[in-house]
Chain A
Amino acid sequence: MRVCIKYDSDFICRAVLKEQFEKLGIPFSIQSLGELEIDQNLSDEQREALATALKKYGIEIIDDPKMALVQRIKYAIDDMLEDDMARIQKISTYLADKLNYSYTYLSNLFSENTYTSIENFIILRKVDHAKELITNTDLTLTEIAFRLNYSSVAHLSGQFKKTTGLTPTAFQKIIEKRKQNSIHPA
C-alpha cells in the first residue's frame, strides 16, 4: 500500500521546536526560520540537552557565527525570490540592507563556506524553483520563465541546461518516467 502525503516542512519544524523547547522549559520565540530568540542565557547542560533533543529531527545548533551568517544569506535569498517586490532590486543592495553587512563581505564569506558564489546559488535556487514548477504544475515554459523573472524561455532553458546539464524537456521527461516507475530518490 502506498499513501501519499503532503507536508509543510516549515510547519513541522515549528511544531518540533515548540515541543522540544517546552519539554525543557525554555521560553523562546521564532525570528525567522533558522533563527530563534531565547530570552535567557542557556547553561551548558541546557544547551547540550537541546542539541541532543533536536538532532533526532535533523536540526542542529550552529555554533559557528560565520556559518550562521551563510545560513542567513541563504534564507534572505529565499525570501527575496519569494517576494515579487524584492526581486526587482539588485541582490547586492537587498542582501546588504537586509543583513547589515557589506555585500563584498557577504559574498566572500559565502564563497569561502559553500564552494559557490551568491550569484551561482541564486541561479541554483531559481532553477530549483523552475524544476518544482515543471514537475508540479501544468505551467508552460513560457509561463514559468515569466514567473521566475526570466527575460525569455531561451534564457530559462539556457540557464537550466547550464545548471543541470539537461534541457527542461529532458528533465520533465525523466521526472515523469520516474513517477510512472515510482522511483523517489531523496
Chain B
Amino acid sequence: MNLNTLNTNVKILNVALADDDEDDRMLFREAIEEIAIQTKLSTFNNGQELMDYLTLPNILLPNLVFLDLNMPIKNGMQCLMEIRKNPMLNAMAVAIYSTSSSEKDVEQTFINGANIYINKPNDFRKLREAIEKVLQINWQYHTSNLNRDNFLYRI
C-alpha cells in the first residue's frame, strides 16, 4: 500500500488571477487553456475582489494566485502582504504578474513573500511558456518533499 504525505491527488490545479486589465485576463485565460496541466482559473478585476473571495468561508483555496502589481483599489503588493499575514491563506503559492521589470519591485515582492515573479511578456507564446513553467514548478513544490519556504522563481 502506498501513501503520500502530500496533496498529490490534486488532478486539477486551482489557479486565481487578479488583474485590472481585461485584455490581460483574457489572454491569460487563453494561454493557460493551451497548457497540458489541468487547471481551474478564477479571475478577479482587482485586489479587493480577490481578497474578498479568499476570505469567504468554505471555499476551495486556489493552489496558486497570480497578482498584478498595479491595480486600483487594492494593489498586488497589498494583497501579497495580507495573504502572508493570514495563516489561513499562507499555504498558497503567490506569483506576481506585472509589467514592471524594476529590480526593486522584484526584490521587494520576493521579500514580502512572493514565490514567483513573471514579467508580463509582450508575446503570447512567451506568455504561455511562462505560465506553463510556473505551473510545472509549482506542481513540483506541491507534490514533492520540497521546502516551500525556499520556493522562489523568476522568469
Contact = CB atoms under 8 A, between A and B. Distances in A.
Interface of A: 9, 13, 17, 33-38, 54, 58-62, 65, 67-68, 71-72, 74, 78, 114-116, 121, 124-125, 128, 131-132, 135, 164-166, 170-171, 173-175, 177-178, 181, 183-186
A38 B37 CA distance: 34
B120 to A, nearest CB: 15
Contact of A177 (B5, B111, B135, B147): B111
A58 B152 contact: no
Interface residues of B, number: 42
Contacts, number: 124
B150 A60 contact: no
B140 A124 contact: yes
A36 B1 contact: yes
A72 B140 CA distance: 15
B108 to A, nearest CB: 9
B115 interface: yes
A185 B2 contact: no
Interface in B135-154: 135-137, 139-140, 143-154
Interface in B2-36: 2-9, 36
Given A116-B136, A116-B140, A181-B111, A128 B150 contact: yes
B1 A38 contact: yes
Contact of A181 (B91, B112, B144, B150): B112
A61 B3 contact: yes
Q: Which 4 A-B pairs have the closest CB atoms?
A: A165-B154, A68-B2, A131-B150, A62-B2
Contact of B3 (A36, A183, A184): A36
A182 to B, nearest CB: 10
A135 B147 CA distance: 11
Nearest to B92: A185
A164 B154 contact: yes
Contacts of B144: 74, 121, 124-125
B148 A186 contact: yes
A45 B90 CA distance: 35
B84 A183 contact: yes
Contact of A115 (B1, B2, B37, B90): B37
Contacts of A37: 1
B145 A78 contact: yes
A125 B91 contact: no
Given A59-B3, A60-B4, A72-B2, 7 more contacts: A60-B3, A131-B150, A132-B147, A174-B107, A178-B113, A184-B113, A185-B94
B110 interface: yes
Contacts of A35: 1-3
A185 B143 contact: no
Nearest to A128: B146
